[in-house]
Amino acid sequence: MSEPVLEFLRRKISELINCDESEVTSEAKLVEDLGFESIDFLELSMTLSQHYRIDMDEKTAFLSGFRPIATGGAREQVLKRLAEAYPHLPESEIERILDEAPHGKVLNVSHLAYYIEHQRKRPGDCAR
């Protein structure tokens, strides 16, 4: 993932939740580590959409449907469904998230960076 995208995310998230930028690492979980609330997700979504001129599918970007997709079936089937639902995430990251999911919220800053980069590569989008 690109460093400029991560740096932008770090800066905007720290401004949004009023914390030190050093707290917003690529592995920081938005809810558990940074205390994100619903309004924070909404504001971040609008900021990212405007800045990068991308369509924000919040359900995909914020992994909100992860748990329902991850339940039921053999691991291989679950991984396939998750890869289809979250094409912006590398397979190794999907596997790691699946292993972490039973222990709490999984969305971290790097997942948003992957989403932004994926959206910027889509035909018809204007990338900054």
62-65 contact pairs (CB < 8 A, 24+)? 62/30, 62/107, 63/97, 63/106, 63/107, 63/111
Give the tens place of pLDDT for each residue, 79-98.
Answer: 999 999 999 999 999 999 99
Judged against a pLDDT cut of 50, whether residue 127 lies above it is answered with no
Judged against a pLDDT cut of 50, whether residue 128 lies above it is answered with no
* Among 46, 38, 35, CA closest to 64: 38
Residue spans per domain, the chain:
3-120
Judged against a pLDDT cut of 80, whether residue 104 lies above it is answered with no
Give the tens place of pLDDT for each residue, 57-84.
Answer: 999 999 998 989 998 889 999 999 999 9
Mean predicted confidence (pLDDT) in 3-31: 96
* Among 44, 51, 29, CA closest to 107: 29
Q: Which CATH number applies to 3-120: 1.10.1200.10, 2.40.40.20, 1.10.600.10, 1.10.3720.10?
A: 1.10.1200.10
Q: What is the pLDDT of residue 92?
A: 95
